[in-house]
Amino acid sequence: MIGIITLLTFILGLVLLLVGAEILVRGASRLATASGISPLVVGLTVVAFGTSAPELAITIQSTLAGQSDLALGNVVGSNIANVLLILGLAALISPLAVAPQILRLDIPVMIAASRPSSQRSTAPHDVRRSQPPWPRSAW
């Protein structure tokens, strides 16, 4: 019985997700037309927000729960997946032209910026807070 309820809840969530995505895209399209903004710019913005929304929700929820490890791992893992997985799949389909500046400057800066994040996530447990820095009665 629980399995059927779980399956129905999953299907309902998927349907609501699709309906919400359709409403979001149509609304953004109308906004672009009404304000004279290029549909490409609005489309890229909607796609960027749509792909980042789950990470944002998990990061906010884990931060409020005092689980900073999960928040940090979510951000770093999402960036790694976006850069390596999505870019890698796109490169398999069609070769990508990369400017020399990206290879010389941007990639090393991105790696250097990610390194302190990964080092913080491996800190000893007693250094981290197990509770949020504000009182629970504040929420």
Q: What is the pLDDT of residues 79-137, one digit of tens each?
A: 777 777 877 888 888 887 878 877 788 778 877 776 665 555 555 544 455 555 555 55
- Distance CA(77)–CA(8), nearest Å, equals 30
Is 136 domain-assigned? no
Is 110 domain-assigned? yes
With cut-offs at 50, 70 and 90, classify the pLDDT of residue 9: very high
Which secondary structure element, helix H or strand E, spans residue 52, and what is its range? helix 39-64
Torsion of CA 110, 41, 48, 98, to 10 degrees: -30
- Distance CA(120)–CA(126), nearest Å, equals 13
Is 1 domain-assigned? no
Our count of domains for the chain comes to 1
Is 80 domain-assigned? yes
Q: Which domain holds residue 83?
A: 11-124
With cut-offs at 50, 70 and 90, classify the pLDDT of residue 11: very high
**Residue tagged 């004279």 (tokens):** 36
The pTM (predicted TM-score) of the whole model is 0.45
Is 138 domain-assigned? no
Phi, then psi, of 65 in degrees rounded to 5: -85, 0
With cut-offs at 50, 70 and 90, classify the pLDDT of residue 57: confident
